[in-house]
Amino acid sequence: MTIVRSEIFKRFPEILFGMSTNSGGVSSGTLGLNLSFHVNDNPDDVKENRKRFFAQLGISEDHVAFTRQQHTVNIVTVNQSGINENCDALITGKRNIFLSISVADCTPVMLYDPRENIIAGIHAGWRGTAGRITEKTVLQLKNDYNCDPAEIVAFIGPSAGKCCYEVGEEVASQFPERCSSVLPNGKYLLDVKLANAIQLLECGVRNSNIEVHKECTIENGLYHSHRRDGKGSGRMLAIIGMTK
């Protein structure tokens, strides 16, 4: 099983971070290591996939907080594991609560403030990113938890890259100009990772505290991709938690 790790979170031994890929699973066809019960996969296979993934991370699913993501900008603070309805970002200050964000091309953004001991996980697809969900999450950390953005460490995960992520003008126009480039066919290539990095920088997060993972989920078959495999594509989970 291949698990994506973060270089920047390795500086903090108290942080557990891992993101699944499409390797090491039991589901049929391209579903492989699908971790979602909502994509027409066999539930027993998904259960087994989740069991393997969480075992590989060394955590129990009983300690994981999940989201029912709706491409909103709703942010929920959690103090326990389990499912959170209608939200796309989670915050916790509790140890041993592992925040999970489900993705297949959408950008996972994970935050840690080592001074205030707060973490956040954000599902930043193009809609959430256009709605500035990453900025909103940092502002909530600042206002509600006294976080200094200059202390926040951020990981922007594998997701649709500018190399492949073609969108229409109506989508591209919702982002800063430098996040897209126009194609001869009138469509645009959009850089959602950069759009999220810009939001972090504008909030005061230091450039040296931001890691942007280079890989593109559309072109790299290691990952599930909604754009490549269609609506029923498998989903991956990005997980962050404080263990001490």
Q: Are 237 and 101 in contact (CB under 8 A)?
A: yes
CA distance 105 to 185: 23
Residue carrying the six token digits 């066919």: 185
| Cα–Cα separations (whole angstroms), residue 178 to 105, 128, 182, 198, 207 | 20, 18, 11, 10, 17
Q: How far is the CB of 219 from Zn ion (least distance, A)?
A: 4
Among residues 15, 39, 17, which one has the least CA distance to residue 28?
39
**How many helices (DSSP H) and strands (DSSP E) are in the chain?**
6, 15
Q: How far is the CB of 214 from Zn ion (least distance, A)?
A: 10
Q: Is 158 in the site for Zn ion (CB under 5 A)?
A: no
95 is written with which tokens?
């140890």
Total residues in contact with Zn ion, by rule CB under 5 A: 6
Q: Are 88 and 133 in contact (CB under 8 A)?
A: yes
Q: Is 161 in the site for Zn ion (CB under 5 A)?
A: yes
Q: How far is the CB of 163 from Zn ion (least distance, A)?
A: 3
Helices 133-145 and 192-203 meet at what angle, rounded to 10? 30
Nearer to Zn ion among residue 162 and residue 206 (C-beta): 162
Handedness of CA 155, 95, 116, 10 (dihedral sign): negative
> For residues 38-67, which are near Zn ion according to CB under 5 A?
none
1, 139, 164, 201: which one binds Zn ion (CB under 5 A): 164
CA distance 157 to 159: 6
Q: How far is the CB of 166 from Zn ion (least distance, A)?
A: 10
CA angle 77, 82, 83 (to 5 degrees): 80
Nearer to Zn ion among residue 46 and residue 212 (C-beta): 212
Nearer to Zn ion among residue 55 and residue 163 (C-beta): 163
Q: Is 215 in the site for Zn ion (CB under 5 A)?
A: no
135, 166, 215, 219: which one binds Zn ion (CB under 5 A): 219
Q: How far is the CB of 197 from Zn ion (least distance, A)?
A: 17
Q: Is 222 in the site for Zn ion (CB under 5 A)?
A: no
Q: How far is the CB of 61 from Zn ion (least distance, A)?
A: 31
11, 37, 51, 163: which one binds Zn ion (CB under 5 A): 163
Q: Which stretch binds Zn ion (CB under 5 A): 54-62, 153-161, 224-232, 236-244?
A: 153-161
Binding site residues, Zn ion, CB under 5 A: 161, 163-164, 216, 218-219
